[in-house]
Structure 1
Amino acid sequence: MFKKSSISLLLATLLAGTAFAAEKTYSASDRAVKLTHDNILIDTHIDVPFRLDEKWEDVTQATENGDFDYPRAKKGGLNAPFMSIYIPASLDKSAKSTELADKLIDYVEAIVGRAPDKFAIAKTADDVEKQFAQGLISLPMGMENGSPIQGSMDNLKHFYERGIRYITLAHSMSNHIADSSYDLRRQWKGLSPFGKKLIVEMNNLGIMVDVSHVSDDAFYQAVEISKVPVIASHSSLRSFTPGFERNMSDDMIKALGKNGGVIQINFGSTFVSKVSRSWSDLFSKKRKEVEEKEGEDSEIAKTFGKQYIEKNPMPFATVDTVIDHIDHVVSLIGIDHVGIGSDYDGVGDSLPMGLKDVSTYPNLVQGLLDRGYSDQDIIKILGGNLLRVWRANETYAAKH
């Protein structure tokens, strides 16, 4: 499953089943494994619900597909994955967006219902800590794309009551809340009038404001309006991928730091590697040229992708590439403002070598240890920083 764009969907389909023959073998030390398992690991963006809507699998057991299931999560030490309630941008201004959001939340509740001895819904930071102590995997939820709000504060409250604890204001298209980094139309020049009011009410309820996907103007306006720290639930750094506005610039990172917020690093190769990004851009360009010359429905166009990838394999990022982004955030604004937002089950088979599914977090921890990060620093990256921001939102909401 891959839900970022039509080009990305094609790439994911073509890359699926690709043999990673040149992949380096990663091996985490006992120390890295223990550090990962003994502490709360929060990944703020895993696209299991939408994956299940496309093809149901019982993720409480081992599954053949996808990046997440219970056995792999346990192996990887993942104990608090935010389930992404992802709503396609095409459903904006449609009641179907609200219906789909409720349906995907139902799926998360169904996972817990199937295996209450393995999973539990988490609606507070305290829930995560209590469930961790009980040996359960917490399933907090975030909404990717605010479309289901439909301009209604009643809908916002409804989704808060159902467990939504962050909202990504927009996705791949400008919506009724904010402009998107992917959308050349900047109808609001940032946030809409409703979007500005929405942030105030999100603060009052205790729903974290997620600035991933939004335009630069929308980001700065959100940070200015929010009375509490915001998050970027699954973003990486633009300095490594010049021209890719979906990622955050150094100035934005600094503004996030002043806000007290946290950026959760996206693992996707095209998010973290300039080489992978350039490969993807060139692939898209070549494909478009073939479609314009031969027609989208031509046999040449239909077989182009597979043939191109066979001759020009995608250059995948690595664990070190991801850690470069973490290093850069730390150098800009300190250790307290970076975490993990992998986008597992959302970026298809473009995941880095050594981080192909949720069983592999110890490889990331090993890489951090190799670079001299202390145990306490790593604990902050794994979940401590996100818990701080979550609690700040809860404390503010309790007073308002």
Structure 2
Amino acid sequence: MRIAIAGLLLTALTPLPAAAQDAASIERRVEALVAARVVIDGHNDLPWELRDRHGGVDAVDRVDLMQSTDRLDPPLQTDIPRLRRGGYGGQFWSLWIPASVTGPAAVKMTIEEIDIVRRMVARYPEAFALADTAAEVEAARRSGRIAALMGIEGGHQIDNSLAVLRRYRDLGVLYMTLTHSKHVGWADSATDAPAANGLADFGRAVIAEMNRIGMIVDLSHVSPETARAALAVTRAPVIFSHSNAFAVNPHPRNVPDDVLRATAANGGVVMVNVYPPFVSDAVRRWNAARDAARDAAAFAAANPRPAVGVGAVADHVEHIARVAGRAHVGLGGDYDGIGGDAVAGMAGVDGWRALFAELMRRGWSDADIAALAGGNVLRVMRGVEKVAAAAR
């Protein structure tokens, strides 16, 4: 994706100190990227947050997303003004439900999550447009709207049924995360005891069907063994919709280097999130110490949590780019799925601006940042569409 920046290269009539020129130039470059609405974020949990803490399945009628939502009780990290300030051209809304909900109840709850997204789009037609393909994302952007895309966050939501998987795709679901925090029998979670030791036969059948119907395989939350197995059998590019680099912070939710390299070979994208325990090794270790303490509140009072800023997110972006290549890294903030927490300076969906500025200071070009922000995941979408078209 190319961003027109000719105007940003003009020098000011009144010379400024070098540092001020640099800061002003970076700000102009960020504004140009935002104006082009380059961001296609891979993961936002607003539908569940609305449902769980702001009015149930009718929450869309009770929360005005055209107004600031950071002052609600409890506050939200997402609203339309901040999406626009953040330069969003598209957002994958997560259709998350608890991993403890299984069977027909999981299917019902997932349909209700789809309904929340569709009603949200219908309530704000000037802001959102449902999108089912890369071309529709681009069309929404040209019309000045944010493409609304959907992804299921856990294989438990299909109730072991390929028919349910197919019907979700018919309703506009574009990706499925193979597991959430618990294994599903046919695929293993990174945070649960293994059951399949990679993929069971049904897991391989699920991926084959996802390839056939044009649904993106999402490998966030899965164990490294399951990720390797999935990458070995998929015929289409994959995503990690909200994961970071294990080499930077060895949290089980993050992606090891060998899997980063395999994702690059697959043509996929690892989409970086802003949840401090996934970003910062110091915060991860602090969490473990607090959880092990006899009195967690007293521990936290005596030992403030380590600070973590935008530079730490940029470290993950740059590590993934070094190992997999700049064509294989993206953004998946996990906003409104992280309990109101976020890296300092990136508290809401407009926080990507700070990351863009940090990467510019590190020498990233506007074209590379535009690819990171959304161009890379659009390429994945087109690749998945191509595989499905060939299957038809």
TM-score (norm 2): 0.88
Residue 192 of structure 1: CA displacement? 2.2
CA contact (8 A) 1:264 1:341 kept: yes
What is the aligned partner in structure 1 of residue 84 from structure 2? 74
1:10 match:
none
- Which residue does the alignment assign to 1:58? 64
Deviation at 1:112, TM superposition (A): 1.1
Alpha-carbon distance, 1:58 to partner: 3.0
Among 233, 242, 254, the alignment partner of 2:241 is 233
Stretches (4+) displaced over 4 A: none
| Distance in 2 of aligned mates of 1:246 and 1:99 | 28
The within-5 A match list for 1:233-272 is 233-242=241-250, 244-272=251-279
Query: 2-side partners of 1:118 and 1:177: how far apart?
Result: 39
Mapped contact 2:34–2:85 kept (Cα < 8 A): no
Between 1:245-254 and 1:165-174, the stretch displaced more is 245-254
Change (3 A) 1:176 1:162: farther
Answering whether residue 169 of structure 2 is matched by residue 163 of structure 1, we say: no
Shift, 1:222, TM fit: 0.3
Deviations 1:175-197 (A, max 9, x none): 1431111002x111111221110
- Kept in 2, the 8 Å contact 1:37–1:76? The answer is no
* Shift in Å, 1:138: 1.1
Q: Is the 8 A contact 1:59 1:70 kept in 2?
A: yes
- Equivalents in 2 of 1:67, 1:230: separation in Å? 27
Q: Which residue identity is paired with 1:344?
A: Y
Amino acid in structure 2 at the alignment position of 1:223:
L
Structure 2 counterparts to residues 106-185 of structure 1, below 5 A: 106-184=115-193
Quote the Cα distance in structure 1 between the aligned partners of 2:166 and 2:289: 44
Confirm or deny that 1:33 pairs with 2:31: yes
* Maintained 8 Å contact 1:39/1:379: no
Shift of the alpha carbon at 1:33?
A: 2.1
Displacement of 1:53 after TM fit?
A: 1.1
Give distance in 1, aligned partners of 2:36 and 2:330: 17
Partner residue in 2 for 1:219: 227
**Which structure 1 segments of 5+ residues have no match?**
1-25, 291-303
Give distance in 2, aligned partners of 1:102 and 1:115. 20
Question: What does 1:182-331 correspond to in 2, within 5 Å?
Answer: 182-184=191-193, 186-242=194-250, 244-286=251-293, 290=294, 304-331=295-322
Q: Does residue 389 of structure 2 align to residue 398 of structure 1?
A: yes
Q: Check conservation: 1:170, 1:177, Cα contact below 8 A.
A: no
Amino acid at match of 1:160: R
So what's the TM-score if we normalise by structure 1? Answer: 0.86
**Deviation of the 1:88 alpha carbon:** 1.2
Contact (CA 8 Å) 2:248, 2:319: kept in 1 or not? no
* TM-fit CA distance, 1:82: 0.5
* Residues 60, 114 of structure 1: 8 Å contact kept: no
Contact 1:40 1:132 in 2 (8 A): no
Which runs of 5 or more residues in structure 2 are unaligned? 1-22
Are the aligned partners of 1:176 and 1:194 in contact in 2 as well (CA < 8 Å)?
no
> How far off is 1:364 after superposition?
1.0
Determine the C-alpha separation between the residues in 2 that align with 1:85 and 1:226.
23
Partner residue in 2 for 1:97 = 106
**What's the secondary structure of 2:271's corresponding residue?**
strand
Q: Hey, what's the Cα distance between the residues in 1 that align with 2:215 and 2:160? A: 16
Give the letter aligned to residue 286 of structure 2. W
Aligned residue identity for 2:362: R
Q: Is the 8 A contact 2:186 2:195 kept in 1?
A: no
Given the alignment of the two structures, is residue 86 of structure 1 paired with residue 77 of structure 2, yes or no?
no
Give CA deviations for 1:339-379 in whole Å, capped at 9, x if unaligned.
00110011123311111101222111111111100111011
Judge conservation of contact 1:40–1:79 (CA < 8 Å) in 2: yes
Percent identical: 37
Structure ranking higher on relative contact order (CA contacts 8 Å, 6+ apart): 1
SS of 2:176's equivalent in the other structure is strand
Corresponding letter in the other structure for 1:203: N
Give the AA of the match of 1:34: A
Tell me, in whole angstroms, the C-alpha distance in 2 between the residues paired with 1:316 and 1:163: 39
Q: What SS does the corresponding residue of 2:242 show, helix, strand or coil?
A: strand
Structure 2 counterpart SS, 1:79? strand
